[in-house]
A and B are shown apart, each in its own frame.
Chain A
Amino acid sequence: MKVLVAVKRVIDYNVKVRVKPDNTGVDLANVKMAMNPFCEIAVEEAVRLKEKGVASEIVVVSIGPKASQEQIRTALALGADRGIHIETDEEVQSLEAAKLLKAVVEKEEPKLVILGKQSIDSDNNQTGQMLAALTGMGQGTFASEVVVDGDKVKVTREVDGGLMTVALNLPAVVTTDLRLNEPRYASLPNIMKAKKKPLDSMSPADLGVEIAPRLTTLKVEAPAARQAGIKVADVAELVDKLKNEAKVI
């Protein structure tokens, strides 16, 4: 079966983000970019499915500027077979991303689509669910285990207070949580081979999707610094404050 994995280019998780002095956004000039960590987990899961003989082909898709091809190449080096790049320099919000991916799904007809549960830049946690809605597929979000069983996929989900397992008809959408797997390293020979794997590039217009953002970011600010509170004299006063002032115990 064919597996489609969507990956996003984001600021590297090691880089401390810095809000631009004019509050228009976060400074991305010359900072290290990388594949969104949840997307790495998605790629890894697809590769493991292929290694188990469950998946036959892994197609990786990314939406974004030209440089997003680096992340597609990384996914190819990790074991994906083929790449699709939807090139645009415009801001793509979740709903449009889902519409673009829907168009890819209609073309590629994968049995399983795996995405990260959220990207570490916009922290939206929306695209997978929206894609599932638009394509009429079931969704297994925040997955910590994925087992394909005949024409169904069983997904164990990380939910508040524990785990919940659902069975979804295939084709289905799965979004990954952190504990699903530990992504592998790309080896040098695989990075070299990845350069030769096929990568198709297209525009949103090619897919018949118009980019028309519904949300406008008015400003981006650095979080307010915490202020020092008070010093308490002893433990009794501390407990009293926690109970009667802060009301947290």
Chain B
Amino acid sequence: MSILVIAEHDNSSLKQATLNVVAAAKAIGGDIDVLVAGENVGAVAEAAAKAEGVNKVLVADNAAYGHFLAENLSELVAEVGKGYSHILTSAGTTGKDIMPRVAALLDVAQVSDIIRVESEDTFVRPIYAGNAIATVKASDSIKVVTVRPTAFDPVAAEGGSASIEQLDIVKDAGLSSFVGEEKAQSDRPDLASAGIVISGGRGMQNGDNFKMLEQVADVLGAAVGASRAAVDAGFVPNDMQVGQTGKIVAPQLYVAVGISGAIQHLAGMSDSKVIVAINKDEEAPIFQVADYGLVADLFEAIPEFEQELDKVCS
């Protein structure tokens, strides 16, 4: 078996998600090559070559790939990938854009957003927004797969010494062109995609007290959310709501402050990797899903939390 991993990067640095995808490739087993396609990607290729478990790094460096246009990249990946048993990439927006196009060009099915590898042709993936988990078997000779990066622990970024090979394949489909881009400007990340979320519930008592959470969020680089009870009570606007009728989030770290943990809220955050609950009611249901629970008065605990984090994070 031989696996081609499409690196995720921004032309200057390799995104960590690539290391998670290599981990998924290792779980399948076989030789792992990484394709770095972009423009002026020398540094990215070198970073990829150092990743643990990588056999060879293939580099396609051309202006046609500079903006990761799916029309161009998919032709490249389909051509390079047809010699492999698996083609993997991260289920980020770039991977989601390109890979189905690759699959269609190869006339094979795609398995999206896998969270576990059962065997070389059998994968586990969430369906119905994570409310059901399907195990699927792919029968095509080439398996095109996107990987949910957070579901796999990354391989080490250092220590590998893969060879780097330049490819001279230029695919410009001539169907699309890059016009512009706008990076999210907010100091705080978007709630739906933030790596850390700190949310307040009715225990916050009023909207002003959410400032305490914002200060913690600033230290952590986190987004601030709220439970429906806090939104219904008028503490904060509706777009901060996490839960069944609000946003569904799955950050690395979710800190629930003064949130009782009604199922409507859990429905929006229980896929988070690590959940922390701070609540003075030790019977609150939130503790049943929390990895770390702190039974405390939030008005004492949160300022202290901020101070301690300040020490650790700065």
Contact = CB atoms under 8 A, between A and B. Distances in A.
Whether A and B touch directly in their complex, counting CB atoms under 8 A apart, is answered as: yes
Interface stretch (B53-61, B158-166, B205-213, B273-281): B273-281
A242 B98 CA distance: 36
Nearest to B302: A235
Contact of A235 (B139, B176, B252, B308): B308
Nearest to B304: A235
19 contacts: A26-B127, A98-B104, A123-B113, A130-B100, A139-B71, A141-B70, A141-B96, A159-B93, A162-B182, A164-B182, A165-B179, A167-B177, A172-B175, A215-B136, A223-B126, A238-B294, A239-B309, A246-B273, A249-B253
A134 interface: yes
Contacts of B193: 160
Given A26-B132, A223-B131, 15 more contacts: A121-B127, A123-B125, A124-B112, A129-B70, A164-B178, A166-B69, A169-B176, A228-B287, A229-B291, A231-B294, A235-B304, A238-B292, A238-B305, A239-B309, A248-B252
Contacts of B111: 215
A52 interface: no
Interface in B127-181: 127-140, 173-181
A220 B67 CA distance: 38
Interface string A119-139: 011111111111111101111
Given A217-B135, A229-B291, A229-B292, A124 B179 contact: no
B206 to A, nearest CB: 22
A141 B305 CA distance: 41
A158 interface: yes
Given A17-B131, A231-B293, A242-B274, A138 B176 contact: yes
A122 B127 contact: yes
Given A16-B131, A248-B196, A235 B294 contact: yes
Interface majority SS (helix, strand, loop, mixed), chain B: mixed
Contact of B133 (A11, A94, A220, A230): A220
A160 B190 CA distance: 10
A47 interface: no
Nearest to A239: B308
Contact of A160 (B94, B196, B274): B94
Contacts of B69: 166
A168 B127 CA distance: 31
Interface in B171-221: 173-184, 193, 196, 220
Contacts of A201: none
A123 B129 contact: yes
B131 A228 contact: no
Interface in B279-314: 282, 287-296, 301, 304-305, 308-309, 312-313
B139 A215 contact: yes
Interface string A83-110: 0000000000111001000000000000
A242 B270 CA distance: 18
Nearest to B303: A235
Contacts of A243: 312
A133 B127 contact: no
A228 B128 contact: no
A213 B138 CA distance: 9
A223 B133 contact: yes
Interface of B: 67, 69-71, 74, 92-94, 96-105, 107-113, 122, 125-140, 173-184, 193, 196, 220, 252-253, 270, 273-276, 282, 287-296, 301, 304-305, 308-309, 312-313
Contacts of B293: 228-232
A129 B97 contact: yes
Interface residues of A, number: 74
A131 B100 CA distance: 9
Contact of B309 (A215, A216, A249): A249
Given A95-B104, A129-B104, A241 B292 contact: yes
Given A166-B176, A166-B179, A216 B104 contact: no
A168 to B, nearest CB: 5
A158 B193 CA distance: 12
A205 interface: no
A125 B112 contact: yes
Given A93-B109, A141-B97, A228 B290 contact: yes
A33 interface: no
Contact of A222 (B105, B133, B282, B305): B133
Q: Which among B94, B103, B287 has the greatest number of chain A C-beta atoms within 10 A?
A: B103
Contact of B291 (A214, A230, A234, A235): A230
A223 B132 contact: yes
A236 B308 CA distance: 7
Nearest to A102: B104
A90 to B, nearest CB: 15
Given A228-B289, A229-B291, A219 B132 contact: no
A207 interface: no
B305 A129 contact: no
A125 B253 CA distance: 26
B290 A229 contact: yes
B175 A17 contact: no
A216 B175 contact: no
